Amino acid sequence: MSKRIFDIIASSFILILISPILGYVALRIKLEDNGPVIFKQKRAGLNDRPFLIYKFRSMKVINRQKDKQENLYNWPDRVPDDFVFKTTTGFNPNVTKIGRFIRKYSIDELPQFINVLKGEMSIVGPRPEIIEISSCYDDYQAQRLFVKPGITGWAQVNGRSEISHGEKIAYDLYYVKHQSLVLDFKIFFKTVYQAIFGKGAI
């Protein structure tokens, strides 16, 4: 069975299975501040083709414009190895009550199964990077774009948001060079374990 066929069958089954959870979370988000349920953001896909990723919104509506990243990533040569986009420490007052919960258990990522059905993502693969960062990749770092991005990946089960960009690239390129159905299943089940216990969540 090809990976694409597996993605279609598995994501369809999972979306049906978790539909009560999706409905409940959507209702909670709407009731908390009456804002949009889904957050969309441009990400770098296969071969650096941009697409819109779907996530449950976890930030307060009134602060979304004010809290947008104003800084541009203007690294001239490559993304620094010690760069860390997010950390697990600290309290962000702009995250909603339901947002803190869905981030901790990665529930905010569940709408990405729709991205999988659309063929923009796979269930397993390097996490899709935001355009401003991927545009600063050098040739070595850009190799992570040679495969379709995933909901979860080798880097996510080896540290998630706790690792540096250099470590993330190393893990992602390991996956690119060693991808297999066995490795995909290993990553998938490790992801389920981490999601249940909230390990490394943002």
pLDDT digits (tens, 9 = 90+) for 56-79: 999 998 644 444 555 578 898 999
In this structure, are residues 94 and 59 in contact, taking their beta carbons and an 8 Å threshold?
yes
- Other beta carbons within 10 angstroms of residue 171's beta carbon come to 20
- All residues at 6 or more sequence positions from 8 whose CB lies less than 8 Å from its CB, including other chains: 116, 117
Query: Alpha helices, DSSP H only, in the chain?
Result: 3-17, 19-33, 97-104, 112-117, 131-134, 165-178, 181-197
- Rounded to 10 deg, the angle between the 165-178 and 181-197 helix axes is 140
Residue type, 48: D
pLDDT tops 80 at residue 202: no
pLDDT tops 60 at residue 106: yes
Mean of pLDDT values over 110-117: 97
The string of pLDDT tens digits covering residues 94-103 is 899 999 999 9
The string of pLDDT tens digits covering residues 133-181 is 999 999 999 999 999 999 999 999 987 667 899 999 999 999 999 999 8
* Cα-based torsion angle of the residue sequence 161, 131, 186, 177 in order, rounded to the nearest 10 degrees: -120
Query: Given the DSSP bridges, would you call strands 122-124 and 50-56 parallel, antiparallel or unpaired?
Result: unpaired
Beta bridge partners of 56: 38
In this structure, are residues 109 and 151 in contact, taking their beta carbons and an 8 Å threshold?
yes
What's the pTM?
A: 0.86
The confidence score (pLDDT) of residue 71 equals: 56
